[in-house]
Chain A
Amino acid sequence: MKIYILWLRQIKRYLRSKSRILGSLAQPLLFLLAMGYGFGSVFQKAGQGNYVNFLAPGIIGMSIIFTSVFTGIEIIWDRQFGFLKEMMVAPMSRLNIMIGRTMGGATVATMQGIIVLLLSMLFGFHPYSFIGVLFTIPVMFLVALLFTALGTMIASLLDDMQGFQLIMNFLIMPLFFLSGALFPLEGLPKVMSIITKIDPLSYGVDAFRYLLINVSHYGIGLDITVLSIITGFFLLLGGYFFKKIQI
């Protein structure tokens, strides 16, 4: 019940901030349209098929990573506006606070991912099968959980928003650009190939591709295994750092 109300709070906040929903849809759509149609013919000539189809799962991954890291980092705002204190003096464990928040943030990011999926279908994305689309949703949640936990972890270590730009530029952007969201993972230079293998998002995007367009580099089994392990690890770590917050 307590975890539920923390979750509900995140959902309510999300649904009420229409400008935030719209704002966070603009970027993925711009990427999908500008790159999808801009590079479409080059991609086709290289014998790789339809670029919009290839790109859409990557763009879903993009909207999820940005939204979930942001909702995780929102703890800093809660601290700034004092609401964190209200939660911290309540008779519930720090771990449960963290779980409730992370679930809420991950749900929000999943909703955002679903919206991007539906919108991209309007703009020419053709998923492989309906069942695949359905199975994508829990995987979106898994990816969202992973990055919300990461955001929580970062937020627990930062005192204020000053460090936020740094995190955006040196962590989130690289995670996104080096994930294979925009390009195929086949035939990459050695260094690049290693980097993409360490990037958790590349397993998320690969799983989306498997389920949505039936193309996979690592294989869905490996994708889910890697994502689950990292998520578990980040949740533990996030819980640990969150526990140490003192106001």
Chain B
Amino acid sequence: MDANKIIDVKNLIKKFGDFIAVDDISFSVEKGEIFAFLGPNGAGKSTTIKMLTTLLTSTSGNISINGHDPEVEPDLVRRMFGIVFQDTSLDDELTAWENMEFHGVLYDVPKKLRRERIQSLMQFVELWDRKDSLVKEFSGGMKRRLEIARGLLHHPKIIFLDEPTLGLDPQTRNHMWEYLKDLNKKEGTTIFFTTHYMEEADRIADKIAIIDHGKIIASGNSSELKKDTNTETLEDAFLFLTGNVIREETATSVDHMRTNRRMWRR
């Protein structure tokens, strides 16, 4: 195994019944790399991330996170990464500070260090003056910022960001990427992210992989992808590779529940 590969995936398959969500994919991410994982809705991005982060078990294939298999040594692997999920995973009924504290305790960050980091991270995302507010009073952007701060609290080797900038204004988005790039440079933190903003991937990622219908259809850096497809922008390259058909994602039961909840709140 190549020691430089912090994420190494070989012949990974995930089936849900007859449906093949991830169809025999192989890729690797090097230490300290900023890696963009792109694809249309329902292509298998989130399923892949879930398998990398111990939330789902694969049907077959191999995953190695810094040399460890998430299915064999889940706790070891869990310590190595931080994650910002596609939809919020904060406790609404707790304050911003309590959400951070909870995370720090779960990841065994010693008390003194934990308190220092919580303060500096919350100051960075400009939420320190709102530390005692309940999260349910926060806007979508504030929740996102808090989640990013939380994902970095235990100084992970890898940070997974599943559409982290969705619904953020350009200011917050830039601010966030500045920080992440800085972290990547200083600490060598590997960044694995998905996004639907192609210019973002173009600007930030060292390497890009495009997944569609559960298969990786192209990978390389941005200029390679543009060259191979003979296109001007990454967006065009992406559309060239994945086609123009709009994908339908089936609503899950959770989505239904969210709709119901919105009805009750009214």
A interface residues, Cβ below 8 angstroms from B: 1-2, 5, 9, 12-13, 16-17, 79-93, 159-162, 246-247
Given A9-B94, A82-B85, A159-B253, does the pair A246, B107 have CB atoms closer than 8 Å? no
* Chain A residues in 8 Å Cβ range of B260: 161
Contact status B94-A12, CB under 8 Å: yes
Q: Count chain B residues whose beta carbon lies closer than 8 angstroms to a beta carbon of A.
A: 37
In angstroms, Cα B252 to Cα A160, docked, is: 10
Please name 19 pairs of A and B residues whose Cβ atoms are closer than 8 Å in the assembled complex, sorted by A. Answer: A5-B105, A5-B106, A9-B94, A12-B98, A16-B93, A16-B134, A79-B254, A80-B257, A82-B88, A83-B91, A85-B89, A89-B53, A89-B78, A90-B107, A91-B79, A91-B107, A91-B108, A161-B260, A247-B55
Apart from A82-B87, A86-B90, 15 more pairs, CB < 8 Å: A5-B105, A9-B102, A12-B94, A16-B134, A79-B254, A80-B254, A80-B258, A80-B261, A82-B88, A83-B91, A84-B89, A85-B89, A159-B253, A159-B254, A161-B257
* Chain A residues in 8 Å Cβ range of B256: 160
Task: Pick the most buried of B54, B79, B257: most chain A CB atoms within 10 A of its CB.
Answer: B257
By DSSP majority rule, is chain A's interface helix, strand, loop, or mixed? Answer: helix
Contact status A246-B89, CB under 8 Å: no
A93 and chain B: residue at smallest CB distance? B75
> Which one, B78, B88, B105, B254, contacts A1 given CB within 8 A?
B105
* Chain B residues in 8 Å Cβ range of A89: 53-55, 78, 81, 83
> Which one, B75, B85, B94, B134, contacts A85 given CB within 8 A?
B85
Task: Pick the most buried of B75, B85, B89: most chain A CB atoms within 10 A of its CB.
Answer: B89
Contact status A82-B257, CB under 8 Å: no
| Interchain residue pairs A-B with the least CB separation, the first 6 | A82-B89, A90-B106, A91-B78, A160-B253, A86-B89, A5-B105
B133 to chain A, nearest CB (A): 13
In angstroms, Cα B92 to Cα A128, docked, is: 43
In angstroms, Cα B256 to Cα A161, docked, is: 10
In angstroms, Cα B98 to Cα A247, docked, is: 24
Given A16-B93, A81-B88, A83-B91, does the pair A88, B55 have CB atoms closer than 8 Å? yes
B113 at the interface (CB under 8 A from A): no
In angstroms, Cα B190 to Cα A187, docked, is: 72
B57 at the interface (CB under 8 A from A): yes
* Chain A residues in 8 Å Cβ range of B105: 1-2, 5
Contact status A90-B254, CB under 8 Å: no
Contact status B88-A87, CB under 8 Å: no
* Chain B residues in 8 Å Cβ range of A2: 105-106
In angstroms, Cα B93 to Cα A180, docked, is: 37
B229 to chain A, nearest CB (A): 35
> Which one, A81, A84, A90, contacts B78 given CB within 8 A?
A90
B50 at the interface (CB under 8 A from A): yes
B180 to chain A, nearest CB (A): 19
Contact status A86-B253, CB under 8 Å: no
B103 at the interface (CB under 8 A from A): yes
B108 to chain A, nearest CB (A): 7
Question: Using an 8 Å CB-CB cutoff, how does the interface string of B100-140 with A read, 1 for contact, 0 for none?
Answer: 01110111100000000000000000000000001000000
* Chain A residues in 8 Å Cβ range of B217: none
